[in-house]
Amino acid sequence: MAGGLAQLWKEWQIQILIILSFTLQVILHLLSWIRRHKGYKVLRIILWLSYLSADSTAIYTLGQLSMTTSSSSREHLLNAFWATFLLLHLGGPDNITAYSLEDNQLWLRHLLTFTVQVLGVAYVLYRYIAGSRTLVEAIILMFAVGVVKYGKRVWAFMCANMDSIRSSLDFLDDSSAHNPYLEQARKERMNRDLKQALLGAHYMFDFCKSLFVDALSMSEPQRSAVE
């Protein structure tokens, strides 16, 4: 029995790992909304485990692809395609980049991982499609899409960490006391129409960000406008 399982794993490990990686991506996509709600403890545990396992599974599978030997050209092309799809998996679903705010603080680690994995996929592609002209254009296109997708995720990590949010704030001086939007908000805050409300909300966006990162940047006239 053990020998049969070992032989099965030896012959189908790449396919099994890719299916597992894809399954984790589907779970992340379907359960990402749970982060914004209380309760659902079992589903939150499943989401958390999937988030922790998704990158590790894709990286491990890429490592196996870089070491796997195959005899047929068909398997070579399949391995090259699997590598580009795994790069897309590392980019993650669009509706969940980080599980919590603390994950964004590790954006430098993600940048290093991004660099290493892109080089690893490039090595796999060179190994399996060197000297071949079959589907090379499609594989290179998938590789480019995967690099952009994964790079966008790293960029999102960088932009969402506390230091980046804090540095993007527009700290306002006393001249803001004469801002026409604030004066209008004080006079007509009980009778605003939709356009005025949107203008006021846009102007107060930096204050929301400053409170979010514990950096108060609201002057007295602005505070009175909010009140």
**Are 7 and 85 members of one domain?**
yes
Helix, strand, coil percentages (3-state) for the chain, rounded to 5, are: 80, 0, 20
Burial code of 201-222, b = ≥16 C-beta within 10 A, e = fewer?
A: eebbebbebbeebeeebbbebb
Token pair belonging to 192: 């605003």
Q: What is the CATH number of the domain that holds 77?
A: 1.20.190
Judgement on whether residues 195 and 122 belong to the same structural domain of the protein? no
| DSSP per residue, 112-133 | HHHHHHHHHHHHHHHHHHTT--
Residues 217, 225: Cα–Cα separation, whole Å: 14
pLDDT tier for residue 172 given thresholds of 50, 70 and 90: very low
- The verdict on 209 and 107 lying in the same domain is no
121 shares a domain with 195 = no
HSE (CB half, 13 Å, CA atoms) of 194? 0
Residues 144 and 174 grouped into a single domain:
no
Residues 82 and 117 in one domain: yes
pLDDT band at residue 181, thresholds of 50, 70 and 90?
Answer: low
Same structural domain for residues 159 and 174?
A: no
Please check whether residues 132 and 47 belong to one and the same domain: yes
Indicate the number of domains in the chain.
Answer: 2
On the CB side of 126, how many CA atoms lie within 13 Å of its CA? 6
Residue pair 89/53 in contact by the 8 Å Cβ criterion: no
Which of 217, 212, 113 shows the shortest CA–CA distance to 157?
Answer: 113
Q: State the residue range of the domain holding 180.
A: 169-226
Domain boundary among the residues 117, 144, 166 is at 166
**pLDDT tens track for 110-120:** 999 999 999 99
Residues 209 and 174 occupy one common structural domain: yes
Per-residue model confidence (pLDDT) at position 174: 46
- pLDDT at residue 138, rounded to an integer: 84
Residue ending a domain, among 166, 186, 212, is: 166
For residues 155 and 173, membership in a common domain is answered with no
Amino acid at the residue 174: D
140 shares a domain with 74: yes
Q: Which residue has the higher pLDDT, 1 or 23?
A: 23
- The two tokens of residue 157 are 């990590």
pLDDT at 176 > cutoff 50: no
Provide the percentage of residues in the chain whose pLDDT is more than 90.
26
pLDDT at 92 over 80: yes
- Determine what percent of the chain is predicted with pLDDT higher than 70: 69
> What separation in angstroms does the CA of 185 have from each of 10, 170, 179, 205, 206?
69, 20, 10, 15, 16
Does 187 share its domain with 77?
A: no
Q: 35 pLDDT exceeds 60?
A: yes
Give the pLDDT of residue 25: 94
What's residue 67's pLDDT?
Answer: 81
Kindly report the average pLDDT of the chain as a whole number: 78
Poorest-confidence range of 14-28, 88-102, 123-137, 162-176?
A: 162-176
179 or 136, which is more confident: 136
In whole angstroms, give the CA distance from residue 107 to residue 90: 14
Distance (Å, rounded) from C-alpha 108 to C-alpha 213? 20
Of the residues 166, 199, 216, which one is the last residue of a structural domain?
166
What digits encode the pLDDT tens for the residues 44-83?
Answer: 999 999 999 999 999 999 988 888 766 565 667 788 888 8
Check residue 135 and give its pLDDT. Answer: 76
